[in-house]
Structure 1
Amino acid sequence: MRVAFSKMHGLGNDFVVLDAREEALPAMTSAVARALADRREGIGCDQLIVLEPSVSADFRMRIFNHDGGEVEACGNASRAVALLHGSPARVETSGGTIGVEPSEDGASVDMGTPRFDWDAIPLAYPLDTASMPVGWDGLETPGAVNVGNPHVIFFVEDADAVALEEIGPTIEHDPLFPQRVNVNVATIVDRTHIRLRVWERGVGLTRACGTGACATAVHAMRRGLVEREARVTLPGGDLRIEWNEDNRIRMTGPATESYRGTFEWDHFA
């Protein structure tokens, strides 16, 4: 079976998008997703995105990380999907329904409401998610936010100086996080600007993470460190994050289609 795909990215966080909204595909499995995401023997991507029909929204978006694990949300992929769809839409995800709206140079996404309760992150046991009394190799007292998927956030003097490629896997797999966790290290530049690096669960170091930008900005806003609208600078570029009075998060930033192609499904099944 020959299958069409679109290769897209948001600030260098790249995706293979399969559109099964009108014509069904064989069942996606972790093994197939992992094979397609492989950068040497597959197409290569951080996340594989599958678009499907939905009974509760305009369509459904499923998200598979580079390691084949299915996850709840991906902010950068949401902008890419908005660009591909070409008009405003409500999109069902495992983390909840989001709203997407394409623009001239990308998209704006209503990412929903943040969750702060310890069991919504989830954590293995109750902790104050605004300032958790835990630490790993000098990274201490983080916050935790669920924005469709779980994030832990550390504010540091210099985010670039943290050996995130070394400590990230340890924190991701710590028993405190029963569903693993995305690890964010951030530096507050001023009241409207944050610098951020992210170790993404199931992916590793990434040039950009939309949900990480949302979680980090909201945690900084919750702590009173930045205004309710801020620019988040990641290695791949900038995102604009707003935490509105209705408690909903809006993320705005670029998205790009790189190319389109086809592959033989049986080669990866």
Structure 2
Amino acid sequence: MDVGFVALSGGAGRRVQRRRAVSERVRMGVEFQKYHGIGNDFILVDNMKSSDTLLTADESVKVCDRHFGVGADGVIFMMPPVNDDSDFSMRIYNSDGSEPEMCGNGIRCLARFAREVLDSEKTVYKIDTLAGLIVPEIAGDMVRVDMGEPELNPAKIPSLLTPNPDTKEAAYNVNGIDWQVVPIGTGNPHAVVFVDEEQFKALDENLEAVGPLYENHETFPARTNTEFIYVKSPEEIDFLVWERGAGRTLACGTGACASVVACSLTGRTGREVAVNLPGGRLDIEWSEDNHMYMTGPAELVYAGEIRQ
């Protein structure tokens, strides 16, 4: 499968310069498999023989372009382990070239990819990420992931917000409108915003306009993912997301975890919640041991080769 690399902005001269700058390793070809986790899609690359990613951040942007590339929300590299007791490590570039700490839907896809590429019978993998050790377990068509413990200390998320100790929410002014938001870290920063059904529908229609205002809000120094949550019942929520570095996506695993923690903290739901995302459903449990567990599918779309 041939995939040409093109610039996202600039004139013909810039496009020529960028094409000439594509590295020799890309001209030789990089094999990949494309997976999705309820619509959140990724290009997976076996990078186990090198500590350098086989695609740069700029090259990943071009490959993720849905008109001139393969098309994806990000590129994930399966890389050598960082720690002796880990199976491998995970690096990911978002579709804008930024590098997040980890990705919940992406790590489910990575587990399925690893099992096939490594020709392994293992069902549990220990994966090093920039957010720490993450442990997915493959169970049939589903992958259950121990996502670790949520970060509720704003300074460590990082966020400059100061939540009310009683409500757990903080004032968040976006475009002249005051919202209440719960800041939570689940390996990367999240702002969880609760809305009613009418607001949820309006946001769905205008997410591209308002999403960047939330993502780049001054109270999140490293930018933030933003989840808009309509609580349907104590066991079920509807979910929209604007992801840092990727924009509107069909699903966000870390965001689903953050949302359930926020719902439970504020008394809106229990600790086990079905999360209805645009791409499908995730089951999230915030257990009594303070760990978040995410269960959902990861499916192969196709395989190919990236080459100049």
TM-score normalized by the length of structure 1: 0.94
Deviations 1:116-148 (A, max 9, x none): 11111112x351272112222546111110000
Q: 1:126 to 1:216 in 2, by over 3 A?
A: closer
1:160 corresponds in structure 2 to 201
For 1:115-134, what aligned pairs fall within 5 Å after superposition?
Answer: 115-123=151-159, 125=160, 127-128=162-163, 130-134=168-172
Instruction: Check whether the contact 2:171–2:178 (CA below 8 A) recurs between aligned residues.
Output: no
Tell me whether 1:105 sits opposite 2:141 in the alignment: yes
Residue 77 of structure 1 aligns to a residue in which SS? helix
2:3 corresponds in structure 1 to none
State which of 190, 199, 212 in structure 2 corresponds to 1:169. 212
- How far, CA to CA, are the matches of 2:36 and 2:90 in structure 1? 16
Instruction: Check whether the contact 1:83–1:106 (CA below 8 A) recurs between aligned residues.
Output: no
Tell me whether 1:20 sits opposite 2:55 in the alignment: no
- How far, CA to CA, are the matches of 1:179 and 1:193 in structure 2? 30
Q: 1:104 to 1:142 in 2, by over 3 A?
A: same
2:75 corresponds in structure 1 to 48
Shift of 1:25: 6.2
Deviations 1:188-219 (A, max 9, x none): 00010010000011111111111110111111
State which of 197, 201, 216 in structure 1 corresponds to 2:240. 197
For 1:25-104, what aligned pairs fall within 5 Å after superposition?
Answer: 28-56=55-83, 57-86=86-115, 87-104=123-140
Instruction: Check whether the contact 1:160–1:197 (CA below 8 A) recurs between aligned residues.
Output: no
2:17 corresponds in structure 1 to none
Amino acid at match of 1:68: G
- Unaligned runs of at least 5 residues, structure 1: none
Tell me whether 1:8 sits opposite 2:35 in the alignment: yes
- How far, CA to CA, are the matches of 2:41 and 2:212 in structure 1? 21
TM-score normalized by the length of structure 2: 0.82
Q: 1:139 to 1:160 in 2, by over 3 A?
A: farther
- How far, CA to CA, are the matches of 2:60 and 2:207 in structure 1? 26
Shift of 1:105: 1.4
State which of 138, 151, 160 in structure 1 corresponds to 2:190. 151
What is the RMSD computed on CA atoms of the aligned residues?
Answer: 1.5
Higher normalized helix content (fraction of residues): 2
State which of 240, 254, 273 in structure 2 corresponds to 1:230. 273
- How far, CA to CA, are the matches of 2:53 and 2:213 in structure 1? 35
Shift of 1:247: 0.6
Shift of 1:29: 2.3
Shift of 1:246: 0.9
- Unaligned runs of at least 5 residues, structure 2: 1-27, 116-122
Higher normalized strand content (fraction of residues): 1
Residue 89 of structure 1 aligns to a residue in which SS? coil
